[in-house]
Amino acid sequence: MKRVELVDLAAGVREHRALLLAAVERVAASGRFVLGDEVLAFEQALAEVCRARFAVSVASGTDALVLALVASGVATGDAVVTTPLSFVATAEAILRVGAVPLFVDVDPESACLCPRELERFFATCDMGPSGPTKVHRGRRVSAVVPVHLYGRIADLVALEEIAVASGACLVADAAQAVAGVLGARSLTSFGAAALSFFPTKNLGAWGDGGAVLTDDEGVAQRIRSLRTHGLDAGVAEELGYNSRLDALQAAVLAAKLPTLRHVEERRRAHAAYYRAELPAWVRRPPALAIGDVCHLFTVRGSRRDELAAHLDACGIATGVYYRQLLFEHPAIHSRLDGAPSSCPVAAAFAREALSLPIHEHLAPTDLERVVAAVRAFGQMNGLT
Ligand SMILES: Cc1ncc(COP(=O)(O)O)c(C=O)c1O
371 in a structural domain? yes
- For residue 130, pLDDT over 90 is answered with no
What residue type is assigned to position 295 of the chain?
H
**Would you state the pLDDT for residue 211?**
98
Shared domain check, 71 and 156: yes
Is residue 3 in a domain?
A: no
CA 94, 236, 42, 51 torsion-angle sign:
positive
Residue 135 reports pLDDT greater than 90: yes
250 domain residue, yes or no? yes
> 62 CA distance to ligand 1 centroid (A)?
6
Q: Tell me: the pLDDT tens digits for 188-201?
A: 999 999 999 999 99
CB 327 within 8 A of CB 379: no
Residues enclosing ligand 1, CB less than 6 A? 60-62, 86-87, 89-90, 147, 173, 175-176, 196, 198, 208, 210
Do residues 247 and 289 both lie within one domain? Answer: no
| 322 cis-preceded (ω within 30 degrees of 0) | yes
Domain check: are 97 and 215 in the same one?
yes
Contact assessment for residue 190 and residue 172, using Cβ atoms and an 8 Å cutoff: yes
pLDDT average, residue stretch 12-20:
93
Tell me, in angstroms, the distance from the centre of ligand 1 to residue 60's CA: 8
**In a shared domain, residues 333 and 188:** no
- Average predicted confidence (pLDDT) for the chain: 97
Are 252 and 318 members of one domain?
no
Q: Give the single-character DSSP code of 293.
A: -
- Compute, in angstroms, the gap from residue 178 CA to the centroid of ligand 1: 12
From 63, 83, 87, mutation site for ligand 1 pocket: most ligand atoms within 8 A of C-beta: 87
Whether 205 and 283 map to the same domain: the answer is no
Q: What is the tally of structural domains in the chain?
A: 2
Answer yes or no: do 252 and 367 share one domain.
Answer: no
At which of 234, 258, 282 does a domain end? 258
State the pairing for strand pair 139-145/79-82. parallel
CATH code of the domain covering residue 365? 3.90.1150.10
The amino acid present at 208, given as its one-letter code, is D
**Nearest-5° Cα angle at 105, 103 to 111:** 120
Q: Are residues 144 and 206 in the same domain?
A: yes
**Atom of ligand 1 minimally distant from the CA of 93:** 4
Q: Which domain holds residue 39?
A: 9-258
- Quick check: is 126 in a domain? yes
pTM for the model: 0.97
State in Å: Cα 21 to ligand 1 middle: 26
In a domain, 242, yes or no: yes
Atom of ligand 1 nearest to the CA of 147: 1
- pLDDT band at residue 379 using 50, 70 and 90 as cut-offs: very high
H or E element at residue 139:
strand 139-145
- What integer pLDDT is reported at residue 129 of this predicted model? 86
- Partner residues linked to 316 by β-bridges: 4
pLDDT of residue 339: 86
Ligand 1 centroid to residue 113 C-alpha, Å: 17
Residue 43 CA, chain-centre distance (Å), reads 18
Q: How far apart are CA 195 and CA 92, in angstroms?
A: 15
Kindly indicate the confidence band of residue 53, based on its pLDDT and cuts at 50, 70 and 90.
Answer: very high
Q: Of 200, 231, 258, which marks where a domain is finished? A: 258
Residue 128 banded pLDDT, cuts 50, 70, 90: confident
Q: Which of 206, 238, 258 is the endpoint of a domain?
A: 258
